[in-house]
Amino acid sequence: MGEHPSPGPAVAAGAEAERIEELGPEADERPPAAPEDPWKVLFDQCDPGNTGYISSGKFRSLLESHSSKLDPHKREVLLALADSHTDGQICYQDFVNLMSNKRSNSFRQAILQGNRRLCSKALLEEKGLNLSQRLIRHVAYETLPREIDRKWYYDSYTCCPPPWFMITITLLEVAFFLYNGVSLDQFVLQVTHPRYLQNALVYHPQLRAQAWRYLTYIFMHAGIEHLGLNVVLQLLVGVPLEMVHGATRIGLVYVAGVVAGSLAVSVADMTAPVVGSSGGVYALVSAHLANIVMNWSGMKCQFKLLRMGVALICMSMEFGRAVWLRFHPSAYPPCPHPSFVAHLGGVAVGITLGVVVLRNYEQRLQDQSLWWIFVAMYTIFVLFAVFWNIFAYTLLDLKLPPPP
């Protein structure tokens, strides 16, 4: 998207580096550079001993002489990297990682601890941007707390692939709601219709052995008032986050929140059904709000205090609606109305797994110790909930509502 230069040489360099890394210590020498890889050829010219390192002075000269082939913001990062190495040595792998959009933790630390500050004007001050470039810049300032990451994202984003996950989920939710509205002839508070729970997508405690219901309940909503807020939050928060962090990471947080929501209901509100995508939505929104709070000084989104207040008010109103509905006289006794506990399960995922994802833009999650701690916690909770569903209902001799 926009007028960004093609990363062809960078991709070639990245592929070459990955091949070198796979060979491991048993390789006697690095494979010859591909003819179309000018960066590798130039690096080897400065590294006649084939050591994989060059001096920071040579590295700076290399950048200065070929600056026209680099995005200006990436050139700034590379210069900062050159000044951050006190031993005077630059690793070729760091150079390849940057050019192929694969930054390691050590690379980020080298930039943050560099002696040279990125002294050029901020991305927000740049003029003459077209509509798509302004949109990308806006998303960067909405989601990323560091200027170096914002510039990196601005230079690297290509809208390929587009944020398809959140858009697809939203369209499916709207389509299922409209279908149910027509079939039930009811759009407001659909959940009060006597035939509502007969849908095969709803989680129902009597049908908890049907594992798909722990996930598919997101396509059923209590009414248009329930669907409306979830859709707005998914689009306003979920789509920008997916544009920055990708469908895999945001989809992981969303689905983890959905599953945690239904499992939390099966443990803490055992007689109630579950509907709505609030578990996934609250996971994303909670992660985003927590990331803003934890990086308050770095986040440059406009009116952030006011917008956080509005978001919290909207989430509180939706949660209050869910609590009221849960204890409102049921339309299909003895089964109560859907539970509100799924919201809390989503929040728990957001402030744990979600925060780790949002705080590590372009970093490998498997290198983060907190990531593995929270993954272990989530896995333990899932296993506990599974065993709870298998044994606890019988041991407690709980009287469940009849199946719909």
Catalogue the active-site residues: 278, 343
CA distance 111 to 60: 15
Q: Which residues pair with 73 in a beta bridge?
A: none
Tokens 């760091």 correspond to what residue? 94
Of 81, 80, 46, the closest CA to residue 62 belongs to 46
Longest CA–CA span in the chain (Å) reads 81
Classify residue 397 by its DSSP letter: T
**Token representation of residue 80:** 């900062």
Helix (H) or strand (E) holding 290: helix 278-294
Q: What is the DSSP annotation of 27-73? A: -SSPPPPPTT-HHHHHHHHH-TT--SEEEHHHHHHHHHHTGGGS-HH
Cis status of the peptide bond prior to 9, with omega within 30 of 0: no
Phi, psi of 54 (to 5 degrees): -135, 160
Of 297, 309, 251, the closest CA to residue 277 belongs to 251
Phi, psi of 91 (to 5 degrees): -85, 135
CA distance 201 to 180: 11
Per-state percent for the chain, helix, strand, coil, to nearest 5: 65, 0, 30
